[in-house]
Amino acid sequence: MEDFLKDWDEGKDSFATDPPNAVLSIFDKDKITDVVIVLSKPRFKSQDLSYDVKILEGEMPATGDESSLFIDPLGMPRTPTSRAGVHRWARRRHAIRR
C-alpha cells in the first residue's frame, strides 16, 4: 500500500496528473445505482483506502447497502471496454466539436 500511495504522484503520467475514472455501483434492495467518478488523493488509514471523488455522471443515492468500485484498467483509461473511458471520450469529442 505504501508503494501504491507513493507511486500515485510520481512521473509525468501519474494518477495525480491524470486521475483514474471508475464506476461505483451501489446496491439497495432491488435497485443498483451506477455513478461514474474520478478518484483522487488516496489515503490509507486503519485498513481503509479512501479517495476524494468527483462525480462525472449520475447521482449518489442518499442511502445504500453494499457497493462495488470498478476502476478503469490501469494504463488504458480510454479503452473502448472501459465504461468510464467511453464517457470521457464522449465528453472530449463534444468539447472538440464546439
Using H for helix, E for strand and C for coil, what is the string for the chain? Answer: CHHHHHHCCCCCCCCCCCCCEEEEEEEECCEEEEEEEEEEEEEEECCEEEEEEEEEECCCCCCCCCEEEEECCCCCCCCCCCHHHHHHHHHHHHHHHC
pLDDT at res. 85: 57
Residue 9 and residue 79: Cα distance in Å, rounded?
22
Q: In the chain, where are the structural domains located?
A: 2-97
Query: pLDDT value at position 95?
Result: 55
Mean pLDDT, each 10-residue run in order, the chain (98 residues): 88 87 91 94 93 94 91 60 55 55
pTM: 0.69
pLDDT given for residue 4 in this prediction: 87
Q: What does the pLDDT read at residue 55?
A: 96
- What is the residue whose three cell numbers read 457497493? 67
pLDDT of residue 87: 56
